[in-house]
Copies of this chain bind each other. A is one copy, B any other.
Amino acid sequence: MGLAIAWRLATDGFGVTVIERGETGQEASWAAAGMLVPDCEFEETTFFSSACRQSLRMYPAFVEALEAESGSRIDFRRFGTLYPAFDNRDQKNLEARLCRQRQEGVAVHSLTLKEVRRLEPNLTSKVQMALYYPENNQVENRDVVKALRVAAERVGAEIRPHTEALGVLYDTECVRGVETATGTVGADIVINATGSWSRYLSGLPGVCSPPVRPVRGQMLALSVVGDPPFRHTIYSSKAYLVPRTSGRLLVGATVEEAGFKNHVTATGALRLLRDAIEVAPALRDFPIESMWAGLRPATPDGWPVIGPTPLKGLYLATGHYRNGILMAPLTAAWMAEMLTGGEVPPAARPFLLERFHASAPPA
């Protein structure tokens, strides 16, 4: 999120410094699967699902510009996503979902068993039908992160890796900069995009602190040997499967309240492997390439926190939970609008911090 905003703001002429604790993009954006699947993630239309769809529509141009500016390739696969049903209950849910989403104009098709088998013969024989979302896709998030860094630097952003932000500096009027372990960085505008760690910048008034907590996700990657077993992204009530062009097949993800314990556990790995083999028995003998865990920044209502705080010059872009990669283009665009025009775009209003700190209405 920080790099996407940095690239955008530097392009717009701002002087930008990215303060990064370790290497850039090592946390949630590295651990993610890069699913761009708002129509699978959300059944109801809300301000957030609409925002996610809007950001999804920005992705082709975003990736194209990013490839051009960074000079690197991004694995952005646009074969659509299948959401299969494995039992009657799944099927009933998907049929109701199809009905509702069609009324709302979502691009979704129902596929018969025969069609699913033809499209993805390696799905379990238990599959009954599937929904097909032609516009829901996936991107290699690690490619995105690496390209963002290059692109941001090329348009003049300064990246300071291995520099821990300790706190925000401010006076009675306004933000003055960031205190780091190796000195202060002066700035009139500070954007807190520190993900799961967003509430831990010290010294801030409580009303500027976003209620973000980490939610662990464990992931694994299998190595594809021979023909790729899947072409589409597979979303399901069990594991999801994300086939990369490179041959890695990602399996995700657990959703766990484990504080900042960011590691793969015996049970987490067990569950992913069991689900993956249930969804696709053909994966049984595939080599495990790697396993990892990441911390999703989550808020109490599941929506991100974007925009100004009560402290002048201090902004937030955090709490994107399972949709940080997806929401990066739109969040960056919104931040640019806010900083250039001074106004919060109407579509971004539902994501202001103030929703958590509103006083009770007068009786």
Spell out A's residues near B (CB within 8 Å): 222-223, 258, 263-267, 269-270, 273-274, 276-277, 283-288, 291
Which residues from B are CB-within-8-Å of A283? Answer: 266
A-B contact pairs, 5 of them (CB 8 A): A264-B287, A265-B287, A266-B273, A266-B283, A266-B285
Give 18 A-B pairs besides A265-B288, A267-B284 with Cβ atoms closer than 8 angstroms.
Answer: A222-B266, A223-B263, A263-B287, A263-B288, A264-B287, A265-B285, A266-B284, A266-B288, A269-B269, A269-B273, A269-B288, A270-B270, A270-B273, A270-B277, A273-B273, A274-B274, A288-B291, A291-B291
On whether the beta carbons of A286 and B273 are closer than 8 Å, the reply is no
On whether the beta carbons of B263 and A267 are closer than 8 Å, the reply is no
Which residues from B are CB-within-8-Å of A269? Answer: 269, 273, 288
Which of chain B's residues has its CB closest to A270's CB? Answer: B273
Main secondary structure of the interface of A (DSSP, over half): mixed
Which residues from B are CB-within-8-Å of A274? Answer: 270, 274
> In the bound complex, what is the Cα–Cα distance between A284 and B265 (angstroms)?
7
> In the bound complex, what is the Cα–Cα distance between A7 and B35 (angstroms)?
55
On whether the beta carbons of A285 and B267 are closer than 8 Å, the reply is yes
> In the bound complex, what is the Cα–Cα distance between A273 and B277 (angstroms)?
14
On whether the beta carbons of A265 and B286 are closer than 8 Å, the reply is yes
Q: Separation in Å of the A217 CB from the closest CB of chain B?
A: 15
Q: Separation in Å of the A293 CB from the closest CB of chain B?
A: 9
Which residues from B are CB-within-8-Å of A285? Answer: 258, 265-267
Q: Separation in Å of the A263 CB from the closest CB of chain B?
A: 4
On whether the beta carbons of B270 and A286 are closer than 8 Å, the reply is no
Q: Separation in Å of the A268 CB from the closest CB of chain B?
A: 8
Which residues from B are CB-within-8-Å of A265? Answer: 284-288
Which of chain B's residues has its CB closest to A264's CB? Answer: B288
> In the bound complex, what is the Cα–Cα distance between A291 and B284 (angstroms)?
16
> In the bound complex, what is the Cα–Cα distance between A288 and B265 (angstroms)?
6
Which residues from B are CB-within-8-Å of A223? Answer: 263
Q: Separation in Å of the A43 CB from the closest CB of chain B?
A: 30
Q: Separation in Å of the A255 CB from the closest CB of chain B?
A: 15
Q: Which of A273, A283, A284 has the most chain B CB atoms closer than 10 A to its own CB? A: A273
Q: Separation in Å of the A147 CB from the closest CB of chain B?
A: 30
Which residues from B are CB-within-8-Å of A222? Answer: 266
Which of chain B's residues has its CB closest to A218's CB? Answer: B288
Which residues from B are CB-within-8-Å of A288? Answer: 263-266, 269, 291
> In the bound complex, what is the Cα–Cα distance between A265 and B288 (angstroms)?
6
> In the bound complex, what is the Cα–Cα distance between A266 and B249 (angstroms)?
12
Q: Separation in Å of the A54 CB from the closest CB of chain B?
A: 37
Q: Separation in Å of the A343 CB from the closest CB of chain B?
A: 47
> In the bound complex, what is the Cα–Cα distance between A60 and B266 (angstroms)?
34
Which residues from B are CB-within-8-Å of A291? Answer: 288, 291
> In the bound complex, what is the Cα–Cα distance between A361 and B238 (angstroms)?
61
> In the bound complex, what is the Cα–Cα distance between A273 and B223 (angstroms)?
20
> In the bound complex, what is the Cα–Cα distance between A223 and B261 (angstroms)?
13
Which residues from B are CB-within-8-Å of A284? Answer: 265-267
> In the bound complex, what is the Cα–Cα distance between A136 and B60 (angstroms)?
63
Q: Separation in Å of the A100 CB from the closest CB of chain B?
A: 35
Q: Which of A264, A266, A283, A284 has the most chain B CB atoms closer than 10 A to its own CB? A: A266
Which residues from B are CB-within-8-Å of A270? Answer: 270, 273-274, 277
> In the bound complex, what is the Cα–Cα distance between A222 and B286 (angstroms)?
22
Which of chain B's residues has its CB closest to A290's CB? Answer: B291
Which residues from B are CB-within-8-Å of A273? Answer: 266-267, 269-270, 273
